[in-house]
Amino acid sequence: MVLALNAKIGSLPPLGKLLNPFSGFWQNAEPRGQNFSGDISNDALKGKVTVQFDDRLVPHLSASSNEDLYFVQGYLHARFRLWQMELQTHAAAGRLSEVMGESMLDFDRKQRRKGMVYGAGQSLKVMEGIPEVKQMMDSYTAGVNAYIGTLRQKSIPLEYKLLDYVPEQWTNLKSALLLKYMADDLTGYTEDLELTNAREVMDSSTFKAMYPERFDSNSPVIPAGTSFDYAREPEAPAPRFSASRPVLAGNTTADTYNNELGSNNWAVSGSKTASGKPILCNDPHLGLNLPALWYEIQLQAPGINSYGVSLPGAPGIIIGFNDSISWGFTNGYRDVKDFYTITFTNEERTKYQLDGKVVDAEMKIETLYVRGREPVLDTVAYTVFGPMLYDASFTAKGLPAQNLAVCWMAHQGTNELQSVYLLNRARNYADYTNAIRHFECPHQNMIYADVQGNIAMWSQGRFVRKTPEQGVYVMPGNTSTYRWKDFLPFAATPHVINPERGYVSSANQVNTDASYPLWYNGYFHEMRALRINHLLDSMQQITVEDMEQMQQDDYGQMASYLLPVMLKATAGTPMVSDTMYQLLTRWDYRYTASAQAATVFELWNGALHRNTWKDEFGGDTTRLLKLPETEATMQLALKDPQSRFFDDRTTPETEDLKALLVNSWKEIADTLQQLQRNDKLAWSKYKGTFIRHLARLPAFSSKVLEMGGGKGIINAASTNWGPSWRMVVQMTTPVQAYAVYPGGQSGNPGSPYYDNFIGDWASGHYYPLHFWPSVSAGGKDVKYVMNFSK
């Protein structure tokens, strides 16, 4: 029995260790009144650091040096979020199979072949080349390891016990990997393979109608009419792209893009607010996970007093404010990842053709340690374009063997931590622009407001000077013609300060109007931006409460455009007597938690979208293909209800929009009835928003939340994506700020601070943020005090 209890059985941890009352999972339970105060000494510290926790367990740090500040930030991140930090960096580095076994091997191989570790190493060289950034990272790493050094079996986080492994030492590379993990989340998507295939199976006019480079936009990130004279530089001479061979692939025609991933931000000038001061708002839409993505914190030392959210695993504050400025981000979605077909000249894939010559690939051997079996060696060829993501030895599910190299901006040596370091200390617009010039991947729409009354937006990143269609498709890798060459200078980045309309905003829509002189492509969506700008255009005497309500707005912009057309087209058909149809005739386009009509519309619109496009591929199921965006279907219905695309080419009849809508309604009828019988028709029940544990353990996840919103809605709470941090900052003196996020400060499922914000986040309640001019001024808001010293 002793042997059985202390041995791992299948995926179960050793039960004796797990159930041990002295060191097992019982030790991870925290009493509701646990005292987090204490005195901690470490020889690495230069002076005293005071940490005062408020009633939400938000730490307010006061240090006499940067080294001590970031040391203690690292210590606190590890104290409350260590398992999360290590899991995410293991995922970034392609090391999950070390913990979870062979089931994660393909994932790990893809991460290595994608160049995640390579890119992190490139960036680390750059970051450690800047003295203040290296000092920042070194101190943070030392703080993380100082906490790890205090751990014993009984005190290690619960997930380590369940998965039966132990923490390892932190390194600066791990922090760089975390930043690449975020870059992958925000810029890793690409349609190159799908669009290359689609171009081969349809004529040019059909292709352009289905996949427009950009949708027409009345609400670009940089307001229409902004002068772009600063970007009018001569184009690099290069031929237009000619398609590479088709990329034969699996049998899907699904829309694989997760367009729930996005964000909102906006800032209004004092001319539109009741206080006469700017208000900045930001709610980045990311995965809804427990432990929560963000860790709230105030950092104070000579030259810095900033408040906001940090990423456990990296020093500094990512989104936040100080007493002079506030800043935030949304994803920019410009395409920064391209593919190239490589022609190898030998079976070992060590030599390939380039510009009429045979050149050597650089070979890197990746060693993958797999729990329960021998290590796996994977040899990856690196070309002038980048690493071989796919080749004869590795391919994606449904893809045949093919040689595809990937070129990705995240492979470049970029220095986002320098940007964070400078932003946290910025005092004015000049400081802000000096800081963001170092933020190069992922591409972000970076918003700004200050106490002087300025507001601004920069669509910031490092961008390649491309010719039309370059990077839209898989490109030939036997020529340097389409290799990345020039990067655009910082000054050519689209930006605006203090626009006449009195606000700036972004919600993942197209970056500029057609007057921007440089070509680019990306993955843009317009609905949230249209709604945001419509509201801001109509608002005056704006208050913080107005902005909070706007972040929770549940109006469906697409539904308001499309549903009247759908109802008009089907008027007079038998379906109008259906009780489900009648719900739509009375709907106000709001995706409230109880709205049954929202569920009906989403199912009907989804069926219309599929049925409009699925026949356009000529029945080809041998290639990887992608349906157009839902916005393309909406624009078609609005502009041309008799379009040939509404005709189902697989039937002898000629259908129009009306016929397709009737057929689509019949298709969803049974599903609607089943949802009604099971009491799942209400929007919140159908959508099913919940906060999922990072290891997908149901016991450590939230229940389904009763809340509205959804993709394409300002309140973008979808099934497992949504507003990861809602923040409203009014640039008065002193600054007034309010925020909430879906989780809690602690990563311990046994802590009352693990998920205590979720109910308030779901109901739209915000917390006033305790931004103290000096940490010693905490007063009645202080609940616990930690003192750090030598």
User: Cβ distance 504 to 496 under 8 Å?
Assistant: yes
pLDDT greater than 90 at residue 771: yes
pLDDT grade, residue 369 (50/70/90)? Answer: very high
Joined together, the tokens standing for residue 300 give 């104070």
What digits encode the pLDDT tens for the residues 531-585? 999 999 999 999 999 999 999 999 999 999 999 999 999 999 999 999 999 999 9
Residue in the block written with tokens 């390891």: 145
Least confident of 26-30, 56-60, 432-436, 769-773: 26-30
DSSP calls for 6-70: TS-BTTB--HHHHH-TTTSGGGG---TT----EEEE-TT-SS-EEEEE-TT--EEEE-SSHHHHH
Q: Where are the beta strands (DSSP E) in 640-693?
A: 692-693
Lowest mean pLDDT among 196-200, 291-295, 369-373, 687-691: 196-200
Number of helices and strands in the chain (H, E)? 22, 28
pLDDT tens, residue by residue, 106-116: 999 999 999 99
Could you read off the pLDDT of 498-511 as tens digits, one per residue? 999 999 999 999 99
pLDDT at position 253 is 40
Bridging pattern class, strands 59-62 and 357-360: unpaired
Q: What is the pLDDT of residue 256?
A: 42
Instruction: Read off the pLDDT band of 624 (50, 70, 90).
Output: confident
Tens-digit pLDDT profile for residues 253-281: 433 444 556 899 999 999 999 999 999 99
Q: Is it the case that residue 71 has pLDDT exceeding 80?
A: yes
Report the half-sphere exposure of 721 (CA within 13 A, side-chain side): 16
pLDDT at 324: 98
Q: Looking at residues 457-485, what average pLDDT do you find? A: 92
pLDDT over threshold 90, residue 173: yes
Q: What does the pLDDT average to over 463-473?
A: 89
Which tokens sit at 765?
Answer: 């309640």
**Residue 10: is its pLDDT beyond 80?**
no
| Contact criterion met (CB below 8 Å) for 761 and 18 | no
Mean pLDDT in residue range 630-643: 92
CB atoms within 10 A of CB 94: 24
pLDDT at 435 over 60: yes
Tell me what pLDDT residue 242 has.
56
Look at residue 207 and tell me whether its pLDDT is greater than 90: no
Span 625-649, average pLDDT = 90
- Return the pLDDT at 247: 61
- The yes-or-no verdict on residue 363 having pLDDT over 80 is yes
Give mean pLDDT, residues 761-781.
Answer: 86
All domains of the chain in start order, with CATH: 48-555+590-595+682-772 (3.60.20.10), 557-589+596-681 (no CATH)
Structure confidence at residue 200 (pLDDT): 80
CA 300 to chain centre: 28
pLDDT value at residue 234: 55
Token pair for residue 214?
A: 């950009």
Average pLDDT over residues 171-193: 94
- Residues in the chain, overall count: 790
Q: Is the pLDDT of residue 21 over 70?
A: no
What pLDDT does 402 receive? 86
What does the pLDDT average to over 47-72?
Answer: 97
pLDDT band at 232 (very low <50, low <70, confident <90, very high): confident
Average of per-residue pLDDT across 744-758: 97
Confidence of residue 617 (pLDDT cuts 50, 70, 90): confident
